[in-house]
């Protein structure tokens, strides 16, 4: 068992990606968002940049707020 990854919701996946890259983080998949389990764009940040934890950033679903 154990934790596979943690996910944070963000307003804009592109802005979040650009912020992570500007801070020196490695965004997986070449930084190209893909569609995640909830039909929203997602990216993953490499665990080496996040204290050993795989971090997923998920764009807020349309109409969620």
Residue 4 has pLDDT above 90, yes or no: no
Q: Give the catalytic positions in this structure.
A: 56
pLDDT, residue 56, reads: 97
pLDDT, residue 65, reads: 56
The mean pLDDT of 38-59, rounded to a whole number, is 95
pLDDT, residue 47, reads: 95
In the chain, what are the domains? 5-59 (3.10.180.10)
pTM of the model as a whole: 0.88
Instruction: Give CA–CA dist 3/18, Å, rounded.
Output: 26
Instruction: Give CA–CA dist 32/2, Å, rounded.
Output: 27
């Amino acid at each position: 068992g154990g934790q596979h990854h943690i996910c944070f919701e963000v307003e804009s996946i592109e802005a979040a990606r650009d912020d992570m890259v500007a801070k020196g983080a490695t965004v997986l998949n070449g930084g190209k968002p893909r569609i995640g389990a909830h039909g929203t764009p997602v990216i993953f940040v490499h665990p080496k940049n996040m204290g050993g934890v795989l971090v997923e950033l998920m764009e807020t679903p349309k109409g969620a707020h």
